[in-house]
Amino acid sequence: MNKGVITITDAEFETEVLQAEQPVLVYFWASWCGPCQLMSPLINLAATTYSDRLKVVKIEVDPNPKSVKQYQVEGVPALRLIQGDKLLTSIEGVIGKEKLLQILDENLVSS
């Protein structure tokens, strides 16, 4: 069982996210984005805390325009919680630890 955050590209999106057996938290980020650096430890925390029922991937926005467009990412950091081809929730901007854990708890109950 992978306990870390997996870095993916547009080419891997379908396999890693849409065909995953469990919900996937997709973290859209950019190297030039200051707030993204604040979010990174939280994303790692989510990957560790929910490793039994959630897959966590991160995708850099600039080299991967297809996924950015498909999920209408307007700013980074951005999170998309996806199960199969269904978008469960969508968040733009920095959020705190409590908010992130609350969102995951609410959406992972049924899995």
**Catalytic: which of 33, 94, 95, 101?**
33
C-alpha of 88 from chain center = 11
Task: Judge whether 33 counts as a catalytic residue.
Answer: yes
The helix/strand/coil state of 12 is helix
64 counts as catalytic: no
Residue 36 CB partners (closer than 8 Å, separation 6+)? 29, 30, 76, 77
Catalytic annotation, pick one of 36, 56, 76, 81: 36
Catalytic residue set: 33, 36
